[in-house]
Amino acid sequence: MPYELYYWDGIQGRGEFVRLALEEAGAKYIDKARSSSGAQTMMEFLKGSHGHEQTPFAPPFLKDGNVVVSHVANILLYLGSRLALVPDDEQARYLANGLQLTVTDFVAEVHDTHHPISTGDYYEDQKPEAKARATAFIRDRIPKFLGYFERILSGNPAQSDFAIGDRLSYVDLSLFQVMEGLGYAFPRAMAAASGDYPKLRKLARTVAERPNIAAYLKSDRRLPFNQSGIFRHYPELDLA
Amino acid sequence: MPYELYYWDGIQGRGEFVRLALEEAGAKYIDKARSSSGAQTMMEFLKGSHGHEQTPFAPPFLKDGNVVVSHVANILLYLGSRLALVPDDEQARYLANGLQLTVTDFVAEVHDTHHPISTGDYYEDQKPEAKARATAFIRDRIPKFLGYFERILSGNPAQSDFAIGDRLSYVDLSLFQVMEGLGYAFPRAMAAASGDYPKLRKLARTVAERPNIAAYLKSDRRLPFNQSGIFRHYPELDLA
């Protein structure tokens, strides 16, 4: 039975971190909410029609038979062992989950660069505040988070150029997506930092060239970045 | 060997969600960074002095022998099975982790009510934006998150008044802390909603009365809420 992924149609958003794991592993899955009936089904889950254990707070969530798992890091924890996208030992799994939760925090901060005041209002209603937040984000937060991940990649005793051990894990796929997203949203800021983060940049290239990921990126399953997702390109929020 | 909890001294903050689990279970632990030498040790971990697998992005992190686990939800996942604070079956653990990650997201939004523009700057430097964000938070986000948790408590087929199954889990302890924190930070908004969230309010009372938690809350191990933590009381951010 294929996995069912539920996520808002039309955007990469947080769903993309799950798609990359499914695609890399060659797992069978249905991106359910990309059809109107699937979108309807997704809303029924959110409303609680499928009972206590299957009422996620928000997409993305994954359905695997009778199990519903919500939140990106939780889904990747679930899929990691099933798809061999995380080392087998328990300690490495907690390490991977901790790194993934750092990605989660960073992604929330990326979102808030264009929505610093209210998620329920339009970007256009909070532009001056967005500029202030994006400025602090580029100045303080990108170096803090990417600097951390760079140290993790550099410090891996396996010297594999991956985050954990000697093989690719779901954390690496998420770091690829972070680098892609930042390059889309803040091209001038990322170009200005082009000499920084060599390990992250190498990892992003390595991931992009993996056969299943390369095929996915060329397919129409990979939605383009746009101004509805998490990573948005508003030139006025980027470095001048 | 006692668990070692590492978290900024002087505040409840995110560390409190871990403390509540350790206290409820009667686990032996040391709140390391409440001594100056422990705070020094914490900084060494953050700088990477203890190697790749023991370099958290930020506190809180837990050290258990040679294992270092970072991020609240990850620590609770780790402790949950060891301290019998989550049901034994795998599905319930993913459910608990998903609920805890919803708490994580909510707590990040609580933080941003007083720091909507920049974590690195003072509240006093972002007061008008904080007022706008807190207004939207009280109007939209408290009802969305608490309404969700209320539905989870109401929908539990075990009818136990806990979030999952028929026993208390770490999720319940975190929901207690959320209700305590909101009552401290936004007393007028929470009083205005005094008829809402009856299940959450009942749960908060139940948790407060559990013998180990009641003893903890009376002890000097429970730091008071203050204006350095996640939940801060700035009257100007509350309902008028």
The pLDDT of residue A99:
98
- ω into B116 cis (within 30 of 0): no
- For an interface test with B, give the residue of A17, A63, A68, A71 to mutate (most B CBs within 10 A): A71
Q: Closest CB to A120: pick one of B53, B140, B156.
A: B140
- Are residues B133 and A116, on separate chains, in Cβ contact within 8 Å? yes
pLDDT bucket at A81, cuts 50 / 70 / 90: very high
Tens of pLDDT, residues B70-106: 999 999 999 999 999 999 999 999 999 999 999 999 9
- Give the gap in angstroms from C-alpha B143 to the nearest C-alpha of chain A: 13
End-to-end CA gap in chain A: 50
Average pLDDT of the segment spanning A207-230: 97
pLDDT 10s digits, A14-28 = 999 999 999 999 999
Whole-complex ipTM = 0.98
Cross-chain CB nearest to A117 (options B104, B132, B152): B132
pLDDT of residue B204: 98
Average pLDDT over residues B105-111: 98
| A115: confidence class by pLDDT, cuts 50, 70, 90 | very high
Q: What is the pLDDT of residue A154?
A: 97
pLDDT at position A53 is 94
**Predicted pLDDT of residue A197:** 98
- Give the residue-averaged pLDDT of B130-159: 98
Cα–Cα distance measured from residue B222 to residue B215, given in angstroms and rounded to the nearest whole number? 10
Domains of chain A, start order: 3-82 (3.40.30.10), 90-209 (1.20.1050.10)
pLDDT of residue A189: 98
pLDDT value, residue B236: 98
CB A132 within 8 A of CB B117: yes
User: pLDDT tens, B164-175?
Assistant: 999 999 999 999
Interface test with A, best of B97, B106, B115 (most A CBs within 10 A): B97
Cβ density class B214-240: b for 16+ within 10 Å, e for less: eebbeeeebbebeeebbbbbbeebbbe
- By CA distance, what is A132's nearest residue in B? B117
